Structure 1
Amino acid sequence: MTAVDPSNADAAAAWDGPNGDVWAEHADMFDNGVARYLPPFLDAVALEPSSQVLDVGCGNGITTREAARRAAHVTGVDLSTRMLDLARRRAAAEGLTNVSFVQADVQIADLGDARYDRVISRNGVMFFGDPVAAFANLARTLRPGGRLVLLVWQTMADNPWFTAFRDAIAVGRQLPVPPPDGPGPFALGSPDRVRTLLTSAGFAEPDLVGLREPMYYGPDAATAQRYLSAMLGGLLTELDDGPRADADAGLRAELAAHLGPDGVTYPSAMWIVTARRR
């Protein structure tokens, strides 16, 4: 790992550690879960054959690879060694030679001045310790008139899957709630906050388009439970055997209640955020 800003030290330790390991192990499940959002996101990115692209928080690399099929070159950047390794392997297996992957904290990394036509991110920019500094750094790496295109979660209230899973495994505990102003999954859920952060960082007034799609967790409740038990692992392993059994039963019942003809699904909502560098 190269330099990490102190405000991102905890995030780096998690993503270049147990969190990143879990996401790498379950890459296909997450990608399938939000697959309905990918086509409209790529349409909004509107790549051209000559485009130079930076993919922020690229994770296991699906957006990097999809962008590479439409652009001249795409650089994926992430904190996770494990996910970047998987991203490189998958890009190579697909014969993509116009991609590269870098491990860095984009809040402080030297990304090059006016280097990219697009900066994109699918669910990768909600965890910055200092979001204005991070987005200002991303603005600098865009060419004049270049565009930032983000796919981010709307508010926690608009994404009932989050509270449903946590409530199912709470078993009497008061679980911490991520703050709406981050860092956390819903840090960019408020349009007003998005506008304030991006204009403060050197972007023109952003445009936000709301999307609502079912979030997919597997073909049956048992598959969904295995996946979510891994994702919620830290909250489950801290329980003793009895409460852990209760949490498992609660999660199983919750998922079974959302099993339908398309598998286990939950309502979800995201923003596509588009902003030009001033």
Structure 2
Amino acid sequence: MGTIVNAEQAQAWNGYEGRHWADNHDRYDATNSGFNEALLEAARIGEHDRVLDLGCGNGQITRLAARGAQHAVGVDLSKPMLERARTVATAEGVPNVTFEWGDVQVHPFEPGSFDVAVSRFAVMFFGDPVAAFGNVARALRPGGRLAFVTLKDPGGTDLGAVLAAIGGLLPGRRPASTPDRSGPLSLADPDRIREVLTGAGFGDITVTPVEAMAEMGRNASDAAEFLSGWGPVRHHLAGAGPAPVRAALEAAFRDFEDGDAVRVRTTAWLVRAGL
């Protein structure tokens, strides 16, 4: 058994949050996969590369990376999602992947054992990001590289408009002026990203805005039900009436119904760095 220091996140991702993501893995991939191409292009994965996927979740990026690499290893705190990742990898016939349970901040990676590290919307949840990225740096060979996407402040996007529609109904919502160093927007500030990566030993850091369309559901009602189950929204629903929130989400999503799906524009930071 490995050591876990990010106890709060471990509890969440092995409880409701992890089960929801594992049970709805196809829905979350539909939401986030619009960033896959940009991420993998930035990683420049070659056929002889050994790839490390940080916070691999249900393993879509791990599997995609493995298809163009020698081998890919996904590491995550969530046992439910790792179980799903292994099942899907077997079903898809991707043999050159390994999934490991662990905390990236302290996981005992063999020094210099990877050529490239990647992540899709997971590094924001590191308890101590400098320590975690420092551990990743040690796991990479000299000249190794890092590429990840992390959430950008959703203000001004379609998703931001949807979230704004329920903002006043969530009494537990973090004030906009409060820095977020532990949740989805913990790396939303490019200066913070550079500060963390520099402190962890990385250089040649670039932070580029990217956007993609996220498929949220079949229709407004389906999308509202799905987003209501997303951990951060569900957490705040504990102090609000779920029916008004659900109704507000459904009304907001109606503006983005597009034939057979609800599609919203989302944004992220694409980050590249090297050793």
TM score, norm. by length of structure 2: 0.91
1:177/1:21 Cα in 2 relative to 1: closer, same or farther (>3 Å)?
farther
State whether structure 2 residue 69 is matched by structure 1 residue 71.
yes
Mapping of residues 1-278 of structure 1, within 5 Å: 2-5=2-5, 8-157=6-155, 161-162=159-160, 164-165=162-163, 167-168=165-166, 170-171=168-169, 173-177=171-175, 180-231=179-230, 232-236=233-237, 238-239=239-240, 243-261=241-259, 263-277=261-275
The count of aligned residue pairs is 272
**Deviation at residue 177 of structure 1 after TM alignment:** 4.8
Unpaired segments ≥5 residues, structure 2: none
Partner AA of 1:37 in structure 2: F
- Asked whether the 8 Å contact 2:171–2:239 carries over to 1, the reply is no
The alpha carbon displacement at 1:16 in A equals 1.4
Q: Is the 8 A contact 2:218 2:262 kept in 1?
A: yes
Alignment root-mean-square deviation, CA: 2.0
Q: Deviations over 1:33-61 (max 9, x none)?
A: 12221112111111111100110100000
Cα deviation, 1:184-214, whole Å, max 9, x if unaligned, reads 1122221111111111111113112221222
CA distance in 2, matches of 1:174, 1:181: 14
Shift of 1:271: 1.5
Structure 1 unaligned blocks of 5 or more: none
Which consecutive segments of 4 or more residues in structure 1 shift more than 6 A?
A: none
Once the 2 structures are TM-superposed, how far is the Cα of residue 165 of structure 1 from its aligned partner? 2.9
Asked if structure 2 preserves the Cα contact closer than 8 Å seen for 1:181 and 1:187, the reply is: yes
Q: Secondary structure at the match of 2:84?
A: helix
Q: Counterparts of 1:65 and 1:177 in 2: how far apart (Å)?
A: 38
3-state SS, counterpart of residue 115 of structure 2: strand
- Which amino acid letter does the alignment assign opposite residue 185 of structure 2? F
CA distance in 1, matches of 2:156, 2:117: 26
Contact 1:47 1:70 in 2 (8 A): yes
Q: Which moved more, 1:203-212 or 1:255-264?
A: 255-264
- Distance in 2 of aligned mates of 1:176 and 1:102: 33
SS in 2 for 1:212: strand
